[in-house]
Amino acid sequence: MIITVVGLGVIGGSYVQALKGLGHDVYGVDVDEATLAQAKKDGCIIEGYVDGRDIVSKSDLTIICLYPSLVLDFIKTHTFKKGSIVTDAVGIKTYFLIEALKLIDQDVEFVSGHPMAGREKKGYEYASAEVFKNANYIVIEHAHNKKESIEFICDFVASLGFRSVKIMSPQAHDEIVSFTSQLPHMIAVALMNSDTEKYDTGKYIGDSFRDLTRIANMNAELWSELFLNNKEYLLESMLHFEKKFDCLREALINDDVETLKDNFRLSTSRREKLEK
């Protein structure tokens, strides 16, 4: 199968590295020629293209790993092979799919996906096949998808190392991701920015602060686009979080030890369930 990965950053670079040795003809598209040269040197792609028009017209599967707006621009300006599948790695789906399906050729099937994996650093140099190992993947099903195409993408990403592959509607995806991904990033940003900097904070942190703020290292352009195009679900998740946070604050004000203990027990049991 001829596969072209568009955008060889952390996710796209991890795709080409995970595909290495699986028997596919893999090509890369990126605006940075040095990145393409490195991916070719690593044996992850046969050839690299800055534009990609020639290769996507021959590809059986095109994986576009760009910001949402740039994915739409790429679809708008490229012609894909008839009968091929195009997929993405975008973190929002409802708004994005409405726009993408307006642009995609009717002879090409768009099967949207979301690898729940990544790193805080940007660029191919931080990519690795290990990024996908035991990670979760969400396949987005819409009215124009064929059952066999959904099944193909499910099997394909499983071959790359993803542990759990779930099929969801665009709306269900955006609702759960607002809680599991976007809200944690918002919390990390707020926590990091609430530092009064009275002390040299880095000299007094432990693993809990490191873990909670790891994702505060944000790609501003990407995450602002994701948040704003999913703000209804995200605001709902933030409101629910605020209520739970206020409950803990009130318990402290009122010296309500039982409420604190009840919340700690509940959070402990719920956290343990996540690993099962």
3-state secondary structure of 114: strand
What pLDDT is attached to residue 157?
Answer: 97
Rounded distance between C-alpha atoms, residue 51 and residue 30, angstroms: 7
Tokens 């039982």: give the residue: 258
Kindly give the pairing relationship between strand 2-6 and strand 25-29. Answer: parallel
The answer, yes or no, to whether residue 237 has pLDDT greater than 80, is: yes
Enumerate the CATH 3.40.50.720 domain ranges in the chain, comma separated: 2-168
pTM for this model (two decimals): 0.91
Top-level class of domain 2-168: alpha beta
- Each residue of 72-125: pLDDT tens digit? 999 999 999 999 999 999 999 999 999 999 999 999 999 999 999 877 678 999
The DSSP call for residue 143 is T
- Each residue of 148-198: pLDDT tens digit? 999 999 999 999 999 999 999 999 999 999 999 999 999 999 999 999 999
Taking only Cα atoms into account, the Rg of the chain, rounded to an integer number of angstroms, comes to: 21
Amino acid at the residue 221: E
What pLDDT is attached to residue 118?
Answer: 74
3-state secondary structure of 82: coil
Tokens 């995970």: give the residue: 18
Please report, to the nearest 10 degrees, the dihedral formed by the alpha carbons of residues 195, 201, 202, 204 taken in order: -130
Q: Does 173-274 carry CATH code 1.10.20.10?
A: no
Percent of the chain with pLDDT over 90: 94
Computed over every residue of the chain, the mean pLDDT equals 95
Rounded distance between C-alpha atoms, residue 8 and residue 89, angstroms: 12
H/E stretch holding 235 = helix 231-253
What pLDDT is attached to residue 121?
Answer: 74
What pLDDT is attached to residue 130?
Answer: 93
Task: Tell me how crowded residue 209 is: count the other CB atoms within 10 A of its CB.
Answer: 15
Residues in the chain: 276
- Measuring CA to CA, which residue among 133, 80, 134, 139 is closest to residue 109? 80
The answer, yes or no, to whether residue 276 has pLDDT greater than 90, is: no
The DSSP call for residue 62 is E
Enumerate the CATH 1.10.3660.10 domain ranges in the chain, comma separated: 173-274
Rounded distance between C-alpha atoms, residue 69 and residue 181, angstroms: 20
Helices (H) and strands (E) in the chain, counts: 12, 9
